[in-house]
């Protein structure tokens, strides 16, 4: 039997559902676990309207999320979102949670008439297959640099 996936845009009332998933996501990327710091970080992003977070529920249980950060392109003079985070709890993988979250992000971009979505991911991330299946294209034209303080 196919499980129902429901996607909700996160506001302050859903932070307690989101924080443990966000903490698990950070641990996946080799950061120390800190649910309270995770919750505080998310709360600040939401309060300051600095990001949009979608939370997926499967059978009323938080199962995954994506976080989008707004930015601008000077070249194309358009707004777009950076899909900075996408995570599905291991118990809910292969149910379509990631795809549902990506679809919700695409709907938001289309609703606001934005340029699109950008993301970067580590070489080992298995979600690359999902991105490519969903029409995302690997950028072979530009190098990305990062200066670390």
Instruction: Give Cβ neighbours of residue 4 (< 8 Å, ≥ 6 apart).
Output: 58, 59
Confidence of residue 109 (pLDDT cuts 50, 70, 90): very high
Enter the pTM of the model. Answer: 0.90
Radius of gyration of the chain (CA): 15
Distance CA 45, CA 67 (A): 10
Confidence of residue 12 (pLDDT cuts 50, 70, 90): very high
- Predicted pLDDT of residue 134: 83
User: What value does the mean pLDDT take over residues 32-48?
Assistant: 98
Find, among 24, 115, 32, 31, the residue nearest to 68 by Cα.
Answer: 115
User: Which CATH code for domain 5-133?
Assistant: 3.40.630.30
Check whether 133 has a pLDDT greater than 80: yes
Q: Which residue(s) pair with 72 in the sheet? A: 79
Distance CA 95, CA 13 (A): 25
pLDDT tens for residues 65-94? 999 999 999 999 999 999 999 999 999 999
How do the domains of the chain map onto residue ranges? Answer: 5-133
């Amino acid at each position: 039997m196919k499980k129902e996936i429901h996607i909700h845009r996160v506001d302050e009332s859903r932070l307690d559902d989101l924080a443990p998933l966000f903490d698990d996501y950070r641990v996946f990327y080799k950061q120390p676990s800190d649910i309270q710091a995770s919750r505080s970080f998310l709360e600040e992003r939401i309060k300051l309207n600095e990001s949009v977070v979608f939370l997926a529920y499967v059978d009323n249980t938080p199962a995954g999320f994506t976080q989008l950060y707004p930015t601008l392109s000077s070249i194309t003079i358009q707004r777009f979102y950076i899909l900075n985070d996408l995570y599905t709890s291991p118990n809910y993988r292969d149910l379509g949670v990631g795809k549902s979250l990506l679809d919700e992000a695409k709907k938001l971009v289309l609703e606001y008439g934005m340029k699109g979505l950008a993301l970067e991911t580590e070489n080992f991330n298995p979600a690359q297959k999902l991105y490519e299946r969903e029409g995302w294209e690997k950028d072979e034209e530009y190098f990305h640099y990062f200066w670390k303080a």
